[in-house]
Amino acid sequence: MISSYKNGGPAQRSRRFAKRVAFWALVVLILVSMLSAISPDTGVAPIVLKTEKLPFAPKEFYVASVVDERADKKAVAHIIPAPAAGATTIAAPIPVDLQGGGLQAVNQFIAKGLPRNEKLRPVIITLREFEVKETPAGKGRVEGRAVVAMKFELQGDGEIIPLTEYKGGIRYNRPASQVEAVEPALRQALSGALAYFNSWIEKEAGTNPRLAKCIKVIFTDYAATAAPDTVFYSPSRPLSWNDFTGSPSKPSKYAAAVFPGFSYEGRSEVVNGELHLYLDMKVYVLQSSSWVKPDSRDDYSLNHEQKHFDLVKLVAERFKKKITPEILSVEDYNSIIQYHYIESFREMNKLQEQYDNETQHGLNKVVQEQWNKNIAEELGKL
């Protein structure tokens, strides 16, 4: 018969399937019973963090986002539950979270408590600690400590700018039966952190470069009528052979050599929320490093050396044009300026070498005249 196969007929297979279902149902029931025995109902509901309008309205920032970096994201509190009727001992602390989770509750608290004016500075808050821990205090009382630790950063244009950090909290002592004292402690600790940052940024907004709303670059040309061993570039003060006070370090086939260079000195200040960068440019020749042979002191050779000086001035002016607010960062403007300075210094060295190679150190008068013309035209545009 067809029903005599080794696996049994349809009725037999149906009975085996029913037995398997009953078996696994029993397994699930046992597991649920075991879990219930391991984790009994604590009887403590999630903490509802109340929202309230805070007693200040930020004038310098709004909270753009909150990042949760807490080590324990599952419980915001370890609290001692109210003792059962007739109990003579205080139970051990149990983990309890905020309703909806810690991050969601903090976001709701900030959204309800602080107005969000997106015309102000966007600030990112990183939540590092936010918790309550309780311990027995004796005589039917419980001692608690609420702690908040936050990092505050400015959300810049393509960058995150560190501002300040905060860690604080409050202590309380409550009767063992009054578990509801936990929520106000958390709320007050959170409010204290936000109030601290509001005071900090109001104090720093006018003077802290990291809080500047924009950057303004102000260049000046260093001018000195006299300086030891140094001639600073000035159209009204060209080089003279008296500026060549040095001697060649070794025998040279050239008639003269000049040692020009450029540098800058900077300072910064915040003026009405703007970061002002003052860069004082120095284009110079070192006299003791420049020399001329006694029989080569003619106007043509001096002009060749002067053009070396003029080329450095041109490179310095090109450097100025590179340093615009658009390429600078409030967080790291110094390194950006320094990078472009190094690049311009390399440009200067290449240009000096090109000038000497093409003019054959001034011996090719036709090419020298072309360089004279090109340099004069570019300087004229300045």
181 and 271 both lie in a single domain: no
Q: What DSSP assignment string belongs to 53-85? A: --S---SSEEEEEEEE--S--S-SEEEPPPPPT
Residues 160 and 278 in one domain: no
Q: Give a yes or no: residue 352 inside a domain.
A: yes
Q: How many domains does the chain divide into?
A: 3
pLDDT at 249: 85
- Residues 87 and 145 occupy one common structural domain: yes
Domain co-membership, 164 together with 74: yes
pLDDT in tens, 216-272: 999 999 977 668 899 999 999 999 999 999 999 888 899 999 999 999 999 999 998
Tell me, yes or no, whether 53 lies in a domain: no
Supply the pLDDT for residue 29.
47
> What does the pLDDT read at residue 28?
47
Residues 235 and 167 in one domain: no
In this structure, is residue 119 part of a structural domain?
A: yes
How far apart (Å, rounded) are the C-alpha atoms in residues 50 and 113?
Answer: 10
Say whether both 273 and 371 belong to one domain: yes
141-155/214-221 β-pairing:
unpaired
pLDDT (0 to 100) of residue 39: 33
Domain that holds residue 152: 61-205
Q: What is the pLDDT of residue 159?
A: 87
| pLDDT tens over the chain, length 382 residues | 223 333 445 455 555 655 665 555 554 444 444 433 333 344 568 999 999 999 999 999 999 999 999 999 999 999 999 888 777 678 899 999 999 999 999 999 999 999 999 999 999 999 999 999 999 998 889 999 999 999 999 998 888 999 999 999 999 999 998 988 899 999 999 999 999 999 999 999 989 999 998 999 999 999 776 688 999 999 999 999 999 999 998 888 999 999 999 999 999 999 988 999 999 999 999 999 999 999 999 999 999 999 999 999 999 999 999 999 999 988 889 999 999 999 999 999 999 999 999 999 999 999 999 999 999 999 998 7
The token duo for 82 is 């109210």
Give me the pLDDT at residue 84, please. Answer: 81
Asked, for residue 245, whether it belongs to a domain, the answer is yes
Of 205, 238, 253, the one marking the end of a domain is 205
Q: Write the CA distances from 267 to 264, 300, 327, integer angstroms.
A: 10, 41, 18
Site of tokens 């070794």: 250
CATH code assigned at 112: 3.30.160
Type of residue found at 170: I
Q: Is 233 found in the same domain as 374?
A: yes
C-alpha distances (whole Å) from 67 to each of 63, 70, 124 are: 11, 9, 7
Domain shared by 371 and 259, yes or no? yes
Q: Give a yes or no: residue 56 inside a domain.
A: no
Q: Within this chain, do residues 107 and 253 fall inside the same structural domain, yes or no?
A: no
Within this chain, do residues 34 and 161 fall inside the same structural domain, yes or no? no
Q: Are residues 229 and 373 in the same domain?
A: yes
Residue 11, pLDDT score? 52
228, 200: one domain: no
Has residue 50 been placed in a domain? Answer: no
Cα 136 to Cα 148, 173, 231: the distances in Å are 22, 10, 79
Radius of gyration of the chain (CA): 39
pLDDT at 277: 97
Task: Please report whether residue 43 resides in a domain.
Answer: no
The pLDDT of residue 382 = 77
Among 179, 205, 231, identify where a domain stops: 205
| pLDDT score of 355 | 98
